[in-house]
Amino acid sequence: MIHLKSAEEIELMRESAQIVSRTLGLIAEKIGPGVTPLELDKLAYEYIHDNGAVPGFLGFNGFPNSLCISVNEAVVHGIPSDKPLEEGDIASIDCGTVKNGYYGDHAYTFAIGEVSPEVEKLLRITKESLYIGIEQMVWGNRIGDIGYAIQQHAEKEGYGIVRELVGHGLGKTMHEDPQVPNYGRRGRGKKLQNGMVLAIEPMVNMGTKDILMLEDDWTIVTADQKYSAHFEHDIAMVDGKPDILSTFDYVEEALEKRGMNAMRFQTI
């Protein structure tokens, strides 16, 4: 069942999404070679609590941490480790919060130091595919239009789109109807409606779309061990248009301050 949100609920959800956004901004100030995922997780835990929220992932189905940190071939749901990040790695950092009873849930994939041009392109295309998907969240469209747009953008580069994990509705629970696949057919699926709040989250693999789960029963990795990227926003449909509740501004500003390529999205 799809829970459509009132204007008041959407504002409460914006608050949760903004805490996630600022948490990721803080991560962007610190992340780099030599930093461990566990250090970043601790930082996030403290920041979220200091801002009157609770981490949305900690304890969720037994997940042990506040952040999912998925490095290189890990797609999503990575458990933060004490292994320092290395130059040339990429790390998808997914963060959830709950405030006022509503979830925020979004993600950014960071380049650790200098990455190869091929990997930088994977990050750029995945980030673009997120925004291209969001552009489809307009009156008259259906869920399939979002997935179709994301899939086209990624597959034309020869990348694989993960099938088994999808975006989702968001609200008082982290995963609500409808599911939002990153693949699909135009004009298919549920009709988009005002008051829908969706977490759109393309997971794009450099090689095969196939995935495996590690023995920790959490970490999803690519079957061919090639890198995978993941970007996620929370978006409400308001007056027939997408209203992005989360933002990458804090991340991009922090990265630019450090002289790093923030890959700001440009309409193409």
Beta-ladder partners of 93? 69, 108
Stretch that binds Mg ion, among 18-26, 45-53, 194-202, 240-248 (CB under 5 A): 194-202
Of 85 and 198, CB closest to Mg ion: 198
How many binding residues for Mg ion (CB under 5 A)?
5
Q: Which two tokens stand for residue 73?
A: 């071939």
Task: Check binding of 199 to Mg ion (CB under 5 A).
Answer: yes
Of 107 and 263, CB closest to Mg ion: 107
H or E element, residue 27? helix 7-30
User: What binding mask, one character per residue, do residues 248-267 give for Mg ion by CB under 5 A, x or -?
Assistant: --------------------
Smallest distance from Mg ion to CB 230, Å: 8
Task: Check binding of 41 to Mg ion (CB under 5 A).
Answer: no
Of 60 and 113, CB closest to Mg ion: 60
Residue 9 vs residues 127, 128, 195, 228: alpha-carbon distances, Å: 27, 28, 9, 33
Stretch that binds Mg ion, among 14-22, 41-49, 198-206, 251-259 (CB under 5 A): 198-206
Task: Check binding of 234 to Mg ion (CB under 5 A).
Answer: no
Stretch that binds Mg ion, among 27-35, 104-112, 136-144, 158-166 (CB under 5 A): 104-112
Of 94 and 252, CB closest to Mg ion: 94
Please say whether the beta carbons of 107 and 94 come within 8 A.
yes
- Of residues 133 through 152, those in contact with Mg ion by CB under 5 A are none
Smallest distance from Mg ion to CB 93, Å: 10
Hey, what amino acid is at 249? D
Stretch that binds Mg ion, among 86-94, 176-184, 190-198, 245-253 (CB under 5 A): 86-94
Which of 95, 70, 99 minimizes the C-alpha distance to 20?
95
> What are the backbone dihedrals phi and psi of residue 204, each rounded to the nearest 5 degrees, phi first?
-120, 125
Residue 177: count other Cβ atoms within 10 Å of its Cβ.
13
Task: Check binding of 94 to Mg ion (CB under 5 A).
Answer: yes
d(CA 144, CA 181): 8
Please say whether the beta carbons of 133 and 200 come within 8 A.
yes
Smallest distance from Mg ion to CB 190, Å: 18
d(CA 58, CA 67): 8
Cis peptide before 37 (omega within 30 of 0): no
Smallest distance from Mg ion to CB 103, Å: 9
Of 175 and 186, CB closest to Mg ion: 175
Task: Check binding of 105 to Mg ion (CB under 5 A).
Answer: yes
Task: Identify the residue whose tokens are 């609500």.
Answer: 176
Smallest distance from Mg ion to CB 221, Å: 17
Residues in contact with 8: Cβ distance below 8 Å, sequence separation at least 6, in sequence order: none
Residues that bind Mg ion (CB under 5 A): 94, 105, 107, 199, 232
